[in-house]
Structure 1
Amino acid sequence: AKGTHKAGFSRDMKYLVDVYSTVADAPVAVLRNAADGSEVMPLETADLTRLKENGWKAPEVFTAPGRDGKTPMWGLIVRPTNFDPSKKYPIIEYIYQGPGDQYVPKAFRPYDWYMTSIAELGFIVVMVDGMGTSFRSREFENVCYKNLKDAGLPDHMAWIKAAAEKYPYMDIDRVGIYGCSAGGQESTNALLLYPDFYKAAYSACGCHDNRMDKIWWNELWLGYPVGDQYKEGSNVENAHLLRRPLMLVVGELDDNVDPASTMQVVNALIKANKDFELVVVPGAHHTMGEDFGEHKRYDFFVRNLLNVNPPAWSDITYK
Structure 2
Amino acid sequence: MRKYFFPLVVFFLSLTFLTAQKKQITLEEIWGGAFRTERMDVLRSMKDGDHYTVLNFNRNPRSSSLDKYDYRTLEKVETLVTSSEEVPFFSSYEFSDDESKLILATDVESIFRRSKQGIYYVYDLTAKTLTKISENLIQEPELSPDGSKVAYAFDNNLYLFDVAKGETKQITTDGKKGSIINGITDWVYEEEFAFVQAFEWNSDGSKIAFLRFDETHVPHFSMDVYGTDLYPFQHEFKYPKAGEENALVSLHMYDVGSGAIADIDLGDAYYIPRIKWMNNPNHLSVQTINRHQNHLKLHKVDTEDVVTLLLEEKDEAYVDIHDNLTFLKNDGFIWTSERDGFNHLYLYNNDGKLKNQITKGPWEVTAYYGYDANKDRIYYQSVENGSINRDVYGIGSSGKKKKRLTGQEGTNTADFSADYTYFINTFSNATTAPEFTLHRAADGKLVKKIKDNSALAEKLKGYEMAPKEFSTINVSGNDLNMYMIKPIDFDPNKKYPLLMFQYSGPGSQQVANRWMGANDYWHQLLASEGYIIACVDGRGTGLKGRDFKKATYLNLVKYETEDQIAAAKKLSELPYIDEERTGIWGWSFGGHMSTNCLLKGNDTFEMAIAVAPVTSWRFYDTIYTERFMRTPQENPEGYDNESPFNYPELLKGKYLLVHGSGDDNVHVQNTMRMIEALVQANKQFDWAIYPDKNHGIYGGNTRLHLFTKMTKFIKENL
Same structural fold, with TM-score higher than 0.5 when normalized by the shorter chain? yes
Once the two structures are superposed, the pairs formed by residues 1-319 of structure 1 within 5 Å of their partners are 1=407, 2-35=409-442, 37-41=443-447, 43=449, 46-47=453-454, 48-68=457-477, 71-109=478-516, 112-113=520-521, 115-150=523-558, 152-165=560-573, 168-224=575-631, 225-287=634-696, 290-305=703-718
Q: Which residue matches 1:314?
A: none
Greater shift in the superposed pair: 188-197 or 232-241? 232-241
CA deviations over 1:83-130 (Å, ceiling 9, x no partner): 444432100011211203222343122762552333332211111111
Normalised TM-score (structure 2): 0.40
Q: Which residue matches 2:229?
A: none
CA deviations over 1:34-66 (Å, ceiling 9, x no partner): 23x431335266543442343323311121212
Deviation at 1:236, TM superposition (A): 1.5
CA distance, structure 2, for counterparts of residue 199 and residue 62 of structure 1: 25
CA deviations over 1:133-177 (Å, ceiling 9, x no partner): 1111111112210111325233334444554545x3222331101
The share of aligned pairs that are identical, in percent, is 31
> CA RMSD for the aligned pairs?
2.3
CA distance, structure 2, for counterparts of residue 297 and residue 80 of structure 1: 19
Letter in 1 for 2:665: N
Distance change (3 Å), C-alpha of 1:123 and 1:227 = same
CA contact (8 A) 1:97 1:151 kept: no
Gaps of 5+ in 1: 306-319
Letter in 2 for 1:56: M
Deviation at 1:33, TM superposition (A): 2.1
CA distance, structure 1, for counterparts of residue 678 and residue 572 of structure 2: 32
Distance change (3 Å), C-alpha of 1:191 and 1:110 = closer
CA contact (8 A) 2:465 2:524 kept: no
CA distance, structure 2, for counterparts of residue 117 and residue 216 of structure 1: 38
Letter in 2 for 1:295: T
Distance change (3 Å), C-alpha of 1:114 and 1:222 = farther
CA distance, structure 1, for counterparts of residue 579 and residue 530 of structure 2: 15
Distance change (3 Å), C-alpha of 1:110 and 1:188 = closer
Q: Which residue matches 1:311?
A: none
Distance change (3 Å), C-alpha of 1:218 and 1:31 = same
Q: Give the count of matched residue pairs.
A: 301
Normalised TM-score (structure 1): 0.85
Deviation at 1:228, TM superposition (A): 1.1
Aligned-partner SS, 2:617: coil
Structure with max Cα Rg: 2
Distance change (3 Å), C-alpha of 1:97 and 1:146 = same
Letter in 2 for 1:101: S
CA distance, structure 1, for counterparts of residue 589 and residue 522 of structure 2: 15
Which has the bigger relative contact order, CA under 8 A and spacing at least 6? Answer: 1
CA contact (8 A) 1:207 1:261 kept: yes
CA contact (8 A) 2:501 2:586 kept: yes
CA distance, structure 2, for counterparts of residue 27 and residue 260 of structure 1: 39
Deviation at 1:241, TM superposition (A): 1.6
CA distance, structure 2, for counterparts of residue 57 and residue 303 of structure 1: 23
Gaps of 5+ in 2: 1-406
Greater shift in the superposed pair: 130-139 or 18-27? 18-27
Distance change (3 Å), C-alpha of 1:42 and 1:53 = farther
Letter in 1 for 2:704: D
- Bigger proportion of residues as strand: 2
Greater shift in the superposed pair: 156-165 or 204-213? 156-165
CA distance, structure 2, for counterparts of residue 29 and residue 40 of structure 1: 11
CA distance, structure 2, for counterparts of residue 147 and residue 121 of structure 1: 37
Letter in 2 for 1:123: Y
Letter in 2 for 1:57: A
CA distance, structure 2, for counterparts of residue 296 and residue 46 of structure 1: 31
Letter in 2 for 1:294: F
CA contact (8 A) 1:249 1:278 kept: yes
CA contact (8 A) 1:184 1:206 kept: yes
Letter in 2 for 1:116: Q
Aligned-partner SS, 1:72: strand
CA distance, structure 2, for counterparts of residue 285 and residue 260 of structure 1: 13
Greater shift in the superposed pair: 79-88 or 99-108? 79-88
Aligned-partner SS, 1:285: coil
CA deviations over 1:226-270 (Å, ceiling 9, x no partner): 421101111111222212111111112122211011110111111
Letter in 2 for 1:195: N
Letter in 2 for 1:66: V
CA distance, structure 2, for counterparts of residue 282 and residue 28 of structure 1: 39
Greater shift in the superposed pair: 18-27 or 225-234? 18-27
CA distance, structure 2, for counterparts of residue 42 and residue 3 of structure 1: 20
Deviation at 1:297, TM superposition (A): 1.3
Aligned-partner SS, 1:130: coil
CA deviations over 1:60-88 (Å, ceiling 9, x no partner): 112121211xx211122123344444432
Letter in 1 for 2:692: G
